[in-house]
Amino acid sequence: MSTIYVLDSYLTPRHPVFTFGGRTVYSKTSAEVEQTTKEILDKIEQLKHDANEISLGFDLEWKPIFSKGTAPRKTAVLQICMDSSDCYVMHIIHSGIPPILKSLLEDSSSFKVGIGIANDATKISRDYNVCLTSLVDLSRYANFKLGGAPKNWGLCSLIEMLTCKQLLKSNKIRMGDWEASELSKDQLHYAATDAFASWYLYQILKTFPDPKPKT
């Protein structure tokens, strides 16, 4: 593990680093998550007057397991980002999912976008009985918009392709304890950047023309 940390910390990126530079809103109690969700809903209402659709960058984190045959841990963190100003990191392993957040996640009027988001939907349904709706898988969407031979895009490869920047993925953070009593600054930044990356990629891909139908 120490070797991974050294590599993560000192390798020179081949491109400028892609990162989230806005405000990270961290909530870990039920009351805090409710307040956070109200803030998101207020933003959605404001955007409805100016945008024809609402998109939410979405991601989940959970504590890894290192022994075969052990059931996956429950989802610990849920991230939502809907602009470049704010990302919301909710420590749901401690707060649970209050009804107002469940309602937001199950609302079909907002698109939830991310890489492999169907798997996240299955995970959160199993862990918290939430039915995530209106899903956009960025890998499939990128293949549709970019054309050519379909690729199995990941968040890092798509960021590099579309922005010429590098999304750094520290294994030390990714494989860390997402069930800790309080998330570290590094964990918060990692989580917020992932959700922001999903939202940002979707905004770029939307600007690409749809492929012409084959005749």
Tens of pLDDT along 153-196?
A: 999 999 999 999 999 999 999 999 999 999 999 999 999 999 99
Q: Using one digit for the tens of pLDDT, what is the confidence trace for 8-49? A: 434 455 679 999 999 999 999 999 999 999 999 999 998 888
Q: Which residues fall within 8 angstroms of residue 177, CB to CB, at 6 or more apart?
A: 63
Contact predicate 62/77, CB 8 Å: yes
If you average pLDDT over residues 64-81, what whole number do you get? Answer: 91
Report pLDDT digits (tens) over 102-141: 999 999 999 999 999 999 999 999 999 999 999 999 999 9
Alpha-carbon gap, residue 179 to 76, rounded angstroms? 6
In angstroms, the CA 173 to CA 116 distance is 20
Q: Which domains does the chain have, with CATH numbers?
A: 2-206 (3.30.420.10)
Task: Write down the pLDDT at residue 207.
Answer: 95
pLDDT of residue 5: 32
